Structure 1
Amino acid sequence: MALLILDAGHGPNTSGKRSPDGKLLEFRFNSAVAQIVKHCLVLEGVNVIYSHENGRDVPLPERTSIANRLNADAFVSIHANAYGSNWNDAHGIETYMYPQASKRTAILAEQIHSSLILACGRKDRGVKTANFAVLRDTKMPAVLVECGFMTNREEAALLLSKAYRVQCARAISFGILNWLFREKLI
């Protein structure tokens, strides 16, 4: 049975991770989407473990250590993006992988990203590389998705809506399942 680590990026008390009006806390979006993704994947026979906790900010080394210790098949970190701390026009979806990532990771990133773009209809900001700890310090394919900008009024409203959260979660699940099927892990 495939093992996936889901990470609701940041933590419930991480400062600054909110919309300019304070109505949207990033962790609430991230964890709500992660919960739906887990439900979708478990129905398909995937074992899913969270690297985050609702009551505390789990340090990044602890998050990656969990994934490495359990020898997970993949690690997916869910986020809402921000550009500065004020309202602005930055918008769209982007997906990240480590610069020296494997071909398997690139395929996972592309599967999830293309699924999100198709399902959500937001601007395609592309699959990018970054030296984020959860991508760099994991031993398995790892990606980080940014589902929209908290600093964009239109996208902040979407990120607050249950319908958009379900859209994002189903798209992420679909991309993961396509990748797992391709890898012959399910």
Structure 2
Amino acid sequence: MKYVDGSGVHTQQVTVARSGVAVVVWVLESRSATPVFDTELVRLTGASMRRVCGVSSGSCRERPLGALIMPPPGVDRASGFLTAVDLPVFEGLTEPWVPTASDATRANPAATDCDRADFAAAGAQELSARSFVVPDDSRLAAFFGMTQTVGKFDSVEAADRFLDRVDTSIRGCSGPPRPRWRCPPPRRWTCPRVAARRTRSR
């Protein structure tokens, strides 16, 4: 990307790499209209990822790396929601996750039989939900995706009581113990609850 300000022409290049839970981002800005060679920037990004892939539950495969030149993605301004970069990747997935528009809701479409997370019953307000799908991958089932619900609580105590009930419900399900999770500490609480859900791609 090139832009001009009072000091002249600038070139900005960005690379993003992901392996497991690690995301490596390099932003290179030069005060010149001539960009750095793509191969050099890709090599730098690959070297950075190899330093962390072993501890990120990801893949450390050695393979030739290439550059895909494309405009930067649009800004996701859905407040309180995850974005595509937060979502898991898995072997063979080459197409991007795509978010739907968020909609107001009364029920929790992301609730599962295990967590039984009922935002409305817990006193949450301004409930909204949206889904992530992979519409361009023809190998996936027609119903495949993930839905997230966001609700706002008026107090730390109300949010904690809700999370305690969900935590107890999840621990009552079969399977290995799951880590306890809490909301972050802003004054007005926004507590996302995410669950895998088969959602029709649009």
**Scaled by the length of structure 1, what TM-score is found?**
0.30
TM (norm. structure 2) is 0.28
Give the structure, 1 or 2, with the largest relative contact order (CA under 8 Å, sep 6 or more). 1
Structure showing the higher helix proportion among its residues = 1
- Indicate the structure (1 or 2) with the bigger Cα radius of gyration: 2
